[in-house]
């Protein structure tokens, strides 16, 4: 398989600096070489960048960096659309605001192919705030609201060519939801599996149901993996830690099942903040998880000393 590595040094959507170093950390951790060892044709397309962005005032005074995030969203929608034509684009972030653009782009590609786009959102947060509802002002908390076509983004973010049907979004690992996001969820058909649901039923059964839906619909599948999906003791390099996340094995099981399904067409790796890491352990873990997604089996995994 052709795997395209696309670096997105975006940190304008987060309050804590450091995510812009994420693409470099993933490269240093050996992502390209690891995927090549699995037989993939890896093409590192370098980092994308935006120029000076216009200032965008908004009635919500809490919002930060609206102009830059809007510019990133427009650029990334085009990049994702273009690079999803062949092979699997792997978008190396960067904070989760990047998914507003990457998902918009791959959704446009899916629509042109006459296929529905499904999104697997692996995250502690739903990221379903609108520009009006966010109290933190951090725009990494709005991408799902944007790419599912919820109101309030008109005149700020670029128009969507193909909004994602909320019924095609499955969130796993959720454990931190603001009241405004709870209210928004009740208006959607998004499937939300919080950590209690995982504890009660196991992640395999929940994911299997979703993958069966994707397969039956003949859809494309975009996976968006946020570091805070994971238990912070396993993956400390994130500025939005929430205790009680997915374990090492739960995360690998998700990736192994995704590989077995053969359905994944694009991938986000987001919120890696190397400044908060411990000797690169989180970056190395993300490389290992990506390897599981792309074919490494349990018996193939090398021993690592962290």
Flag whether 300 is in a domain: no
Is there a binding annotation on residue 40? Answer: no
User: pLDDT per residue over 132-172, tens digit each?
Assistant: 999 999 999 999 999 999 999 999 999 999 999 999 999 99
Looking at residue 20, its pLDDT comes to: 97
Give catalytic status of residue 199 as yes or no. no
Catalytic residue among 40, 96, 129, 252: 96
Quick check: 241 pLDDT over 90?
Answer: no
Catalytic residue among 165, 181, 228, 256: 228
Per-residue H/E/C for the chain:
CEEEEEEECCCCCCCCCCHHHHHHHHHHCCHHHHHHHCCCEEEEEEECCCCCCCCCCCCCCCCCCHHHHHHHHHHHHHHHHHHCCCCEEEEEECCCCHHHHHHHHHHHHHHHCCCCEEEEEECCECCCCCCCCCCCCCHHHCHHHHHCCCCCCCCCCCCCCCCCCHHHEEEEEECECCHHHHHHHCCCCCEEEEHHHHHHHCHHHHHHHHHHHHHHHCCEEEEEEEHHHECCCCCCCCCCCCCCCECHHHHHHHHHHHHHHCCEEEEEEECCCHHHCCCCHHHHHHHHHHHHHCCCCHHHCCCCCC
User: pLDDT per residue over 16-55, tens digit each?
Assistant: 999 999 999 999 999 999 999 999 999 999 999 998 888 8
Catalytic residue among 140, 193, 222, 252: 140
The residue range of the domain holding 141 is 2-294
Tell me the whole-structure pTM to 2 decimals: 0.96
Is there a binding annotation on residue 178? Answer: no
Task: Say which CATH number the domain at 179 has.
Answer: 3.40.800.10
Flag whether 302 is in a domain: no
Flag whether 299 is in a domain: no
Quick check: 305 pLDDT over 60?
Answer: no
Looking at residue 304, its pLDDT comes to: 59
Is there a binding annotation on residue 201? Answer: no
Percent of the chain with pLDDT over 70: 97
Could you give the number of structural domains in the chain? 1
Percent of the chain with pLDDT over 90: 94
């Amino acid at each position: 398989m052709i795997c395209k590595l696309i670096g997105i040094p975006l940190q304008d959507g987060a309050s804590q600096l450091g995510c812009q170093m994420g693409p470099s950390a993933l490269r240093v951790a050996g992502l390209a070489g690891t995927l090549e060892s699995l037989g993939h044709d890896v093409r590192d397309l370098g980092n994308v960048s935006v120029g000076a962005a216009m200032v965008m005032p908004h009635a919500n005074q809490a919002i930060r960096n609206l102009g830059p995030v809007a510019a990133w969203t427009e650029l990334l929608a085009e990049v994702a659309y273009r690079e999803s034509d062949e092979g699997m684009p792997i978008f190396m972030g960067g904070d989760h605001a990047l998914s507003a653009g990457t998902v918009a782009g791959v959704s446009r590609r899916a629509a042109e192919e006459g296929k529905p786009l499904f999104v697997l959102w692996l995250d502690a947060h739903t990221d379903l705030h609108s520009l009006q509802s966010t109290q933190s002002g951090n725009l990494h908390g709005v991408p799902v609201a944007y790419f599912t076509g919820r109101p309030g983004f008109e005149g700020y973010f670029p128009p969507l060519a193909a909004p994602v049907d909320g019924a095609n979004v499955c969130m796993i690992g959720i454990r931190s939801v603001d009241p405004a996001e709870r209210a928004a969820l009740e208006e959607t058909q998004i499937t939300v599996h919080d950590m209690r649901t995982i504890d009660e039923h196991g992640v395999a059964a929940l994911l299997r149901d979703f993958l069966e839906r994707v397969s039956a619909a003949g859809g494309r599948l975009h996976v968006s993996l946020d570091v805070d999906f994971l238990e912070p003791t396993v993956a400390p390099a994130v500025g939005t830690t929430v205790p009680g996340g997915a374990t090492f094995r739960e995360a690998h099981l998700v990736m192994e099942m995704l590989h077995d399904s053969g359905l994944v067409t694009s991938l986000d790796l987001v919120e890696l903040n190397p400044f908060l890491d411990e000797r690169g352990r989180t970056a190395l873990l993300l490389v290992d998880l990506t390897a599981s997604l792309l074919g490494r089996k349990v018996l193939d995994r090398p021993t690592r000393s962290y």
